[in-house]
Amino acid sequence: MRISGSVALVTGANRGIGRHFAQQLLERGAKKVYATARDTATIDLPGVEALRLDITDPAAVRAAAEAAGDVTLLINNAGIATYTNLVTGDLDKIRLEMDTHFYGTLGMIRAFAPILGANGGGAIVNVLSALSWFSYDGANAYSTAKAAEWSLTNGVRLELRGQGTLVTGVHLGAADTDMMRDYEGEKSDPADVVRAALDGVEADRLEVVVDEWSAKVKASLADDPSAFYGAA
């Protein structure tokens, strides 16, 4: 998969990691970049083609697919964090996490998979999280939804292999974005996250683990969970 000459669509491209994706795609020579957001007035990056899109709205997803039939690279970046637990948390917020990260991502893939196939296969990038692999009291709805999105990523990769579509999952810890503005620990530069992700796509990698924390969490999955959660 080559970025230069590609036609990319980035969800949640008005800020944070999504905006960096759109910018770096242009810098790497993408022929066209569709930058999407619920409100296109919030998209301020020169050189992109702005599209209104709410990935939780099936009609909006269909409209985006109809408008962007030349896409060869789909970046599923849009996300939300409600900081909700599962047992006592607001069920509407828990459903919103699943509707966004699982059903929203799945809806985008279902809408654009035929387009990617018709355009030669292309690639899909799903922006996941280290929280795909562990739970955190206070954000369990997010980790549950991201775990589901990780499984979705592995599943659609198998289903789309026959049409030549690369599916890459990107896992990261905290990044210096609006979503993590109240987090006081170490944060990755979102530009570095995107650079690693796009390098991974061009290397045809199935998975990109951006930082040491994410690598440590993934490695812990092979151990007794008491070893990780006792120290977490």
Supply the pLDDT for residue 174.
Answer: 61
Rounded CA separation 60/79 (Å): 16
Contacts of 181 (CB under 8 A, 6+ apart): none
State percent of the chain over pLDDT 90. 86
| CATH number, span 7-229 | 3.40.50.720
**Averaged pLDDT score across all residues of the chain:** 93
Supply the pLDDT for residue 181.
Answer: 55
Dump pLDDT digits (tens) for 34-67.
999 999 999 999 999 999 999 999 999 999 999 9
Bigger pLDDT: 81 or 187? 81
pLDDT of 94 higher than 90: yes
Taking the domains of the chain in order of start, what are their residue ranges? 7-229
* pLDDT band (50, 70, 90) for residue 189: confident
Angle at 6 between CA 40 and CA 19, to 5 degrees: 35
Supply the pLDDT for residue 188.
Answer: 64
Dump pLDDT digits (tens) for 138-182.
999 999 999 999 999 999 999 999 999 999 999 998 655 556 555
Only one residue has tokens 């997010």, namely 142
Rounded CA separation 111/61 (Å): 7
Dump pLDDT digits (tens) for 104-130.
999 999 999 999 999 999 999 999 999
Question: Cβ-count burial of 57 within 10 angstroms (0-12 exposed, 13-18 middle, 19+ buried)?
Answer: middle
Provide mean pLDDT across the span 75-79. 96
Rounded CA separation 4/45 (Å): 19
Supply the pLDDT for residue 231.
Answer: 61
Rounded CA separation 102/123 (Å): 18
Supply the pLDDT for residue 152.
Answer: 98
